[in-house]
Amino acid sequence: LKICTPGSNTVQQLYSLIIRQRIAIMASPGTAPRRYIHLLDSVRPSLYIVDLSFESLNAQASFKGELKASLEVLKPSKQLELHAKDMEFGSASVALADGSAGPSFVKATLREETETVIFEFSDILTGSVVLTCTYTGKVQSAQRGLYHCTFECGIAGASTHFEPVYCRYAVPCIDEPKAKACFEVSIAAPRSLTVVSNMPETNAAPLAGGLTKHNFMATPRVSSYLLGFSLGDYSSIDMEEKDREIAPVPMKLYAQRGSEEMGRFALSIGVGSLAFFEKFFDQKFPLPKLDLVVPPFFPIGGMENWGIITLVNRSLIDDSASLQKRQGVAGLVAHEVSHMWFGDLVTPCWWEDLWLKEGFASWVNLLPLDELFPAWRVWDK
């Protein structure tokens, strides 16, 4: 900051300095310049229909997946390339815009250096196509992608953290923030588990082997890193009567069974913030529900998955919590709720512009808190 001259655009100077430093490192002697190849330049997605099946949610357990991806091939090629990590692929096929079968599938090749899978076909593809493939993935032990978490009762569960580039651990896709598409998700999981995702569940049906298949509404167009779902021994709480009167959409909070009542304060902040931001942005919240989910383990404070905000455990507090703790939880929840518009509805095209959404959310979260708790004098802190 000392480098930036007084009276100038400090943020722009600092940003330019970072970019210049990055270029200097990339072009320094003895190192080859690195350039990211955007898959979105070749293929544009519009819809992913994702069907996942989990018999076990232990760390490193395998799960089965089936993907049907509606794609627009912008550069004619015999190959389709999607992001994929820690997966194995089985069958694949492609259909053309008129519904007829496309060229024959040749092979799928994983490229570790680019974290992609290349589907090769017998002839040139161009225009609108629908790619269908089967694959297996792994429940991650590290807290990224679709990761394992153990509930207090000893039951294995799993939750997602896809920002910035971890959706590719669960779903083959164009895993770039600009590559917005609709996601229609189905999840088969052990019958005793609760399953929550971005959108409301349309129906659930029992399957053989003690599984239940949960089908969810399709999302609006959204970046892959904002897809989210969580499976576990959850119990939920609904809004209190006073919050139902102001809530724009139904809201719930999910937490480990026995801990859910400690989420009352966080849920109330979520409702108040959502109502405030609808007026502030003059834009209706575009989804039919918003849930707050508190998994047993979460790698950061919170994540603004559209329609399913995930929060760290310290968000659960009781009436004895100090003012400092209450303010911390309130700031975190308001921050994530603000992202429902600034970050989710409107999204930076690339990660070098991450500061736009995070910097704005770090400021704007104070606005609903000032309205809800004027005695806190948040602008004086």
Helix, strand, or coil (residue 58): coil
Joined together, the tokens standing for residue 320 give 């004895």
Catalytic, out of 201, 336, 358, 371: 336
Does the annotation count 113 as an active-site position? Answer: no
- Length of the chain, please? 381
CA-CA-CA-CA dihedral for 84, 85, 90, 92, to nearest 10: 0
Q: Measure the CA–CA gap between 23 and 34, rounded to whole angstroms.
A: 10
* Interatomic CA distance for residues 267 and 251, integer angstroms: 8
Give one word for 356, left, alpha or beta, with left for phi > 0 and alpha for psi -120 to 50. Answer: alpha
> 345: which residues sit within 8 A by CB, 6+ positions away?
283, 286
Report H helices in the chain.
10-26, 241-244, 264-281, 323-338, 354-364, 366-372
Tell me the CA distances in angstroms from 351 to 15, 21, 77, 197, one per residue in order. 13, 16, 28, 24
Kindly provide the residue ranges of all beta strands, DSSP E only, lying in the chain, ordered along the sequence.
43-53, 62-83, 88-96, 105-111, 116-138, 145-150, 156-161, 182-190, 194-197, 201-207, 211-216, 229-232, 234-238, 251-256, 290-293, 302-303, 308-311
Supply 125's token pair: 């593809």
Residue 181: DSSP 8-state:
B
CA distances (Å), origin 33, targets 23, 24, 27, 30: 9, 10, 6, 10
Q: If you search the block for the tokens 């005695």, which residue do you land on? A: 375
Phi, psi (degrees; rounded to nearest 5) at 194: -90, 140
Around 364, how many Cα atoms within 13 Å sit in the side-chain half-sphere?
22
Active site residues: 336
